[in-house]
Amino acid sequence: MNQSQNQNFTVKRNDTIKWTITITEDGAVVDITGWSFFFTVKTSIDDVDADALIKVDWSSHSDQENGETILTVPAASTNLTGQKYYDLQYKDDSGEIHTLLWGYITFDKDVTIRTS
């Protein structure tokens, strides 16, 4: 659980991102009551957080006792193209911050761009 993992993703521009995340340690789920999560996407890894393209913070979880939370990024926030940097971090109930995932997220152009 304390080791971060490099993982690259590709998503379609203007699509809603919805990822279910389950926190485990040695195969057992971890109670994430009181934890906060942070998902950040930037053009440059050196950009300050205020200049992030996407910032999602949440502390309400789908099943906190069983380590489950859901990251939701609305479609209006994913109107991007190309490769960007991202990470997914959490702050546990003791105040420690850890990185779960990091890498590149690539936003591909989609065919349909209308919304109705």
**pLDDT tens digits, one per residue of 72-115:** 999 999 999 999 999 999 999 999 999 999 999 999 998 887 77
Name residue 59's amino acid: S
The confidence band for 41, taking pLDDT boundaries of 50, 70 and 90, is very high
Domains of the chain: 5-108 (2.60.40.3350)
Only one residue has tokens 């479609």, namely 75
Nearest to 90 by CA among 28, 15, 22, 44: 22
Q: Extract the tokens encoding 40.
A: 């950040």
Answer whether 35's CB lies under 8 Å from 80's CB.
no
Residue 29 has pLDDT above 90, yes or no: yes
Q: Count H helices, E strands: the chain?
A: 0, 10
